[in-house]
Amino acid sequence: MNRLVLTPRVVQVAALNPIRKTLSTAVWQHALNVPEDKQAQSKEGQVDVKKALEKPTWSVSSLLPPKDQKNTPKVSSKQLHHLLRLSALPPPKTDEEESKLLSTLSSHLHFVQEIQKVDTSGVEPLRSLRDETIAGQKDAELGLDALSEALEQEEIRGKHHKRIRRRKDFVENEKLDWDPLAAAGKKVGRYFVIEGGKEGT
């Protein structure tokens, strides 16, 4: 159960949004900021790899609550159940399991709060690793060229009353090359079937 709670998704749940900040480059710059005097550089300017890795300058554990400190859950039982339901995870079966979950969750929260201390104002979040150079963005840009094929599939209808219309004759009626229902646990005809329990969510 603990392992399940530790999935990144639940970390997000616990963070209730500041995930963007935790992912920001600023965090890692901050965390990995190695002071000048500790730099393992020889006089020739060569990096002595072995020396550099000898002594850790920082540990994730500095972001976790001290072991001896009693964890006071900042999350109520009700909130826990709400979060589990939102994440489609099963509720705890016993009180013991629940208090364990709460304890893990609050150490997650501690971690996130530590990370939130980093000043990220004015820093764009790193959403994913992409080419962010001007040339890279230009490559990703969808302009007239990229849309030329789609524009060719349109026509102007009417001699007097001119209207733009997408031509339907371009839509190739290709057959599906796989059966979406093949892995269905339950189906009727060409439908997936869900036993919904109570109405909606």
Query: Which residues of this protein are in contact with other proteins, per CB under 8 A?
Result: 12-13, 16-17, 19-20, 86-88, 125, 127-128, 130, 137, 140-144, 146-147, 149-151, 153-154, 157-166, 168, 170-171, 173-174, 176, 178, 180-181, 188-201
The structure tokens 């939102």 sit at: 86
Closest separation between CB of residue 139 and other proteins, Å?
Answer: 9
Question: Least Å distance between CB 11 and other proteins?
Answer: 11
Shortest distance in whole angstroms from residue 117 CB to other proteins: 21
Query: Between 65 and 109, whose beta carbon lies closer to other proteins?
Result: 109
Contacts with 73 (C-beta within 8 Å, 6 or more apart), sequence order: 99, 102, 103, 105, 106
Q: Indicate the residue among 12 and 77 with the shorter CB distance to other proteins.
A: 12
- Long-range contacts of the stretch 68-73 (C-beta < 8 A, 24+): 71/103, 71/106, 71/107, 72/106, 73/99, 73/102, 73/103, 73/105, 73/106
Taking the complex as a whole, how short is the minimal distance between the CB of residue 108 and other proteins, in angstroms? 14
Q: Which is nearer to other proteins, 20 or 51 (CB)?
A: 20
Nearer to other proteins, 62 or 128 (CB): 128
Beta-carbon-side half-sphere exposure of residue 62 (alpha carbons within 13 Å): 7
Q: At what angle do helices 95-116 and 8-15 cross, to 10 degrees?
A: 70
